[in-house]
Amino acid sequence: MSSSNTDFQFAYAAWIVALTGALGSLFFGEVMKLPPCTLCWYQRICLFPLVAVMAVGIALRDRRLGIYAAPLVLAGLGIALYHNGVQLGWIPETLTPCTGTSSCGEKQLELFGFITIPMLSAGAFAFIGSLLLFHQRQIGNSTHE
């Protein structure tokens, strides 16, 4: 059964959020010279391949796109939430893998006085996951029409 372009509108939106997040993290690191901590690297490990995985799924019109993107989204969201817990002081920094030049508990950037890089990451992963859920629901509904 063929799928129309509207069947993948949520997948396109999720891909745009993932691409924006990947480019944003590169901007923070390469242009603003903010060194990523270990937890930031782990989040990047989930985000960067997600851009490619979703691009291939969209190009192939694979109806299982949300299913095989889910592990990267869930892992990235989990790490981002953990990182937020560290920065908010809910989780002791001694329980982090950070050993590099940048501390996992350090807030290198605060937009509007409270939005940190791990908050942006958690928001992006949550938004991507939500869009992929909408995508799966739309794909499921279009097969029954």
**97-135 pLDDT tens trace:** 776 667 766 777 776 777 788 999 999 999 999 999 999
pTM confidence score: 0.85
Share of the chain above pLDDT 70, in %: 86
CA dihedral 114, 120, 124, 125 (to 10 degrees): -100
What backbone phi and psi angles, to 5 degrees, belong to 36? Answer: -75, 140
What is the spatial distance between Cα 90 and Cα 54, in angstroms, rounded to a whole number? 33
The mean pLDDT of 20-24, rounded to a whole number, is 96
Mean residue pLDDT across the chain: 87
The residues near 52 (Cβ < 8 Å, ≥ 6 apart) are none
Q: How far is CA 129 from CA 16, 67, 113, 135, in A?
A: 13, 10, 26, 10
DSSP 113: T
What is the spatial distance between Cα 135 and Cα 90, in angstroms, rounded to a whole number? 34
What is the spatial distance between Cα 58 and Cα 7, in angstroms, rounded to a whole number? 10
The burial of 16, by beta-carbon neighbours within 10 Å (0-12 exposed, 13-18 middle, 19 or more buried), is given as middle
Q: What angle do CA 32, 36, 39 make, to 5 degrees?
A: 150
